[in-house]
Amino acid sequence: MLDSSEGYVTEDGRKIGGVVMEMKNITLRFGGVVAIKDISFDIREGEIRAIIGPNGAGKSSMLNVISGFYVPQEGEVWFHGAKRPPMRPYEVAQQGIARTFQNIALFEGMSVLDNVMTGRLSFMKTNIFQQALWKGKAEAEEGENREAVEKIIDFLEIQHIRKTPVSRLPYGLKKRVELARALAAEPKLLLLDEPMAGMNVEEKEDMSRFILDVNDEFGTTIALIEHDMGVVMDLSDRVVVMDYGRKIGDGTPDEVRNNQEVIDAYLGVSHD
């Protein structure tokens, strides 16, 4: 189904563009432990790309490599057609890669609004003296960014809690606020680390709807890690399967589902 480097059209008729991010022969070691072993894959513009695999397969490490938190010992990361030099995580964020975390990493002492506003850091251009003065540039900038943030708050339906301190929120809402914070950065690539972990069915449905809407409405490229197979197979356009740090499968959900190695390693043998 992958015709060329020009992209492809998904089953539901969405057009997927060229390569946004390409991982080339990534190897990541922690001392003697090889977390990721010679993995290559690409993420294309506008697609929802899933990374799946059993516990300890190296999925989160892979996401951490993409977001610059780990620097791989071997291999290259290409972003928007250019090889990415080793950089600090905040520089990666400024390039337009936003993410959420497996264990929610919100700023507990701040309100929902402040949390989401923090996501817009790369749009804040005033210096500390202008901010100390507040009147003028800083106030105008705050207003503009607040407007953008309010759109995302509307989009994710969290208006009623915008002034609530995050520490008072239930788990499902925290996950949504975290998504809002990542979206506020208007990312070119959005990384979601187990967005549905620990949720009940309704919350999972809500979250799936939001992920699809984000992809649909903003055209955001999304890479996600998820354990719920039903969700992964329904949401994603292409799936990378990892096991023990190796890539054992890559393709559409159907291709992956029928890949014998994947079935053996992870999905188990079908009973029906």
Shortest distance in whole angstroms from residue 33 CB to another protein: 21
Does residue 176 contact residue 183 with C-beta atoms inside 8 Å? Answer: no
Taking alpha carbons only, the member of 21, 91, 25, 46 closest to residue 222 is 46
Q: Which of residues 45-104 bind another protein (CB under 8 A)?
A: 67-69, 88-90, 92-94, 98-99, 101
Report the residue from 21, 50, 161, 185 that binds another protein according to the rule CB under 8 A: 185
Residue type for position 77: V
Is residue 223 within 8 Å of residue 189, measured between CB atoms?
yes
Give the total of residues touching another protein (CB under 8 A): 42
* Beta carbon of residue 136, minimum distance to another protein (angstroms, whole number): 11
Residue whose C-alpha is closest to residue 67's, from 235, 147, 182, 201: 182
> Which is nearer to another protein, 34 or 110 (by Cβ)?
110
Q: Strand, helix or coil at 239?
A: strand
Our CB check for another protein shows the closer of 156 and 235 to be 156
**186 near another protein, judged by CB under 8 A:** no
Task: Assess 190 for contact with another protein (CB under 8 A).
Answer: no
Structure tokens at 79: 């972003």
Phi/psi for 145 (5° steps) reads -70, -30
Handedness of CA 163, 165, 169, 175 (dihedral sign): positive
d(CA 94, CA 121): 8
Does the protein bind another protein through residue 143 (CB under 8 A)? yes
From residue 96 to residue 135, the character string flagging contacts with another protein as x (rule: CB under 8 A) and all else as - is: --xx-x---xxxxxx---x--xxx-xx-x-x-x--xxxx-
Q: Interface with another protein includes 180 (CB under 8 A)?
A: no
Does position 181 interact with another protein (CB under 8 A)? The reply is yes
Which parts of 207-246 interact with another protein (CB under 8 A)? none
Closest separation between CB of residue 128 and another protein, Å?
Answer: 6
Residue for token pair 């190296």? 58
Give CA separation, 181 vs 95, 107, 178, in Å. Answer: 16, 10, 5
* Residues 57, 185 contacting (CB under 8 angstroms): no
Nearer to another protein, 110 or 263 (CB): 110
Q: To the nearest whole angstrom, how small is the minimum distance from the Cβ of residue 118 to another protein?
A: 5
Q: List residues near another protein by CB under 8 A.
A: 67-69, 88-90, 92-94, 98-99, 101, 105-110, 114, 117-119, 121-122, 124, 126, 128, 131-134, 138-139, 141-143, 146-147, 150, 181-182, 185
